[in-house]
């Protein structure tokens, strides 16, 4: 298998630590006054806000034994809250991990068809982690994982403007001029994709490597755009998510971002 071109860009996270864990002291949690229940539970790592709203509609969340009926409920903390009858623990300090998702794994907790998921590849002993966005079954590369539902949401929102960078190996013919037109955005089958910075890196016969950077990350966006240009994608790797890169990781490996760097990164988000 042809290897992708090498990059010199350094990761803004330290090299993998033994066991993939950071054992530095955890900062004190912030208190922001009354908050919507979905935000509190997301912050506590229960699920995303949208999933929590579904759980409320299903009657799975209660306060002091009484079912919560609206996601607009305001609370100061999670005291007295239960999910499926189990008490909710207060939020822990935010943690963010880099994970090199291998090919042929699902970004999901379970698969009815029995296909391997990212959780089958993660080592034991980690906290409960949620993926930031998704990579499809065949796509490999950088997947961020966090215990903080609010951080997950913040990193996923297009308005936050976090740049995702991919490298694609494709078969077919495309020019740099065609790729540069993607900076204006493109509509395919009624779906509009925003500005994409695309560069032709290397060509060998009719095979080429293309680097693409974007901020939306819609479902199968890179594959659909390249297929629209007449290319057949044979390998797709996400190499960076914002300032975080794959550097130092092999498929299936994970490491944790330093707490100080995580706070600095979070402060740069819109």
DSSP H helices, the chain, are 37-43, 49-57, 118-121, 149-156, 176-180, 221-228, 259-268
Give 37-90 as a DSSP string: HHHHHHHTTS--HHHHHHHHHTT-EEETTEEP--TT-EESS-TTEEETTEEPPP
What DSSP state is assigned to residue 116?
A: -
pLDDT string in tens for the chain (270-residue length): 445 544 433 333 333 333 333 333 333 344 457 899 998 998 888 888 888 999 999 999 999 999 999 999 999 999 999 999 999 988 788 999 999 999 999 999 889 999 999 999 999 999 989 999 999 999 999 999 999 988 998 899 888 889 999 999 999 999 999 999 999 999 999 999 999 999 999 999 889 999 999 998 888 999 999 999 999 999 999 999 999 999 999 999 999 999 999 999 988 887
Would you say 210 and 201 are in contact if contact means Cβ atoms under 8 Å apart? yes
266 neighbors 151 (Cβ within 8 angstroms)? yes
Q: Which of 73, 94, 96 is nearest to 26 (CA)?
A: 94
Catalytic residue among 32, 111, 120, 136: 136
What's the chain's Rg over C-alpha atoms? Answer: 20
Q: Which residues 6+ apart lie within 8 Å of 185 measured at CB?
A: 192, 193, 194, 195, 196
We find that the CATH architecture of domain 93-159+243-268 is: 2-Layer Sandwich (3.30)
Count CB-CB contacts under 10 A for residue 95.
21
Domain edges within the chain? 35-87, 93-159+243-268, 163-241
Please name every residue paired with 207 in a beta bridge, in sequence order, or none if there are none: 171, 204
Class of domain 35-87 (CATH, top level): alpha beta
136 is a catalytic site residue: yes
Please name which of 239, 197, 205 lies closest in space to residue 2, comparing C-alpha atoms: 205
User: What CATH number does domain 163-241 carry, 3.30.70.1560, 3.40.50.1000, 3.90.79.10, 3.40.50.800?
Assistant: 3.30.70.1560
Q: Do domains 93-159+243-268 and 163-241 have the same CATH topology?
A: yes
What's the predicted TM-score (pTM) here? 0.74
């Amino acid at each position: 298998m042809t290897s992708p071109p090498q990059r010199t860009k350094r990761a803004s996270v330290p090299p993998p630590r033994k066991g993939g864990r950071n054992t530095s002291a955890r900062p004190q949690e912030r208190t922001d006054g009354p908050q919507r229940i979905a935000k509190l539970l997301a912050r506590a790592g229960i699920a995303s806000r949208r999933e929590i709203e579904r759980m409320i509609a299903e009657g799975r969340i209660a306060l002091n034994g009484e079912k919560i009926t609206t996601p607009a409920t305001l609370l100061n903390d999670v005291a007295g809250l239960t999910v499926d009858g189990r008490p909710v623990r207060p939020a822990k300090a935010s943690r963010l991990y880099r994970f090199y998702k291998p090919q042929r794994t699902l970004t999901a907790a379970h698969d009815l068809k029995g296909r391997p998921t990212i959780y089958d590849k993660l080592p034991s002993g980690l906290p409960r982690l949620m993926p930031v966005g998704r990579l499809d079954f065949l796509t490999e590369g950088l997947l961020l994982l966090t215990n903080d539902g609010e951080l997950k949401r913040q990193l996923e929102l297009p308005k936050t403007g976090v740049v995702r960078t991919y490298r694609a190996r494709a078969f077919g013919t495309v020019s740099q001029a065609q790729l540069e037109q993607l900076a204006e955005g493109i509509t395919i089958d009624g779906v509009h994709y925003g500005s994409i910075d695309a560069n032709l890196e290397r060509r060998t016969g009719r095979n080429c490597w293309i680097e693409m950077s974007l901020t939306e990350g819609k479902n199968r966006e890179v594959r659909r755009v390249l297929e629209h240009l007449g290319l057949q994608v044979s390998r797709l790797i996400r190499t960076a998510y914002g300032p975080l890169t794959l550097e130092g990781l092999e498929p299936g490996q994970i490491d944790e971002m330093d707490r100080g760097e995580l706070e600095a990164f979070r402060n740069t988000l819109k």
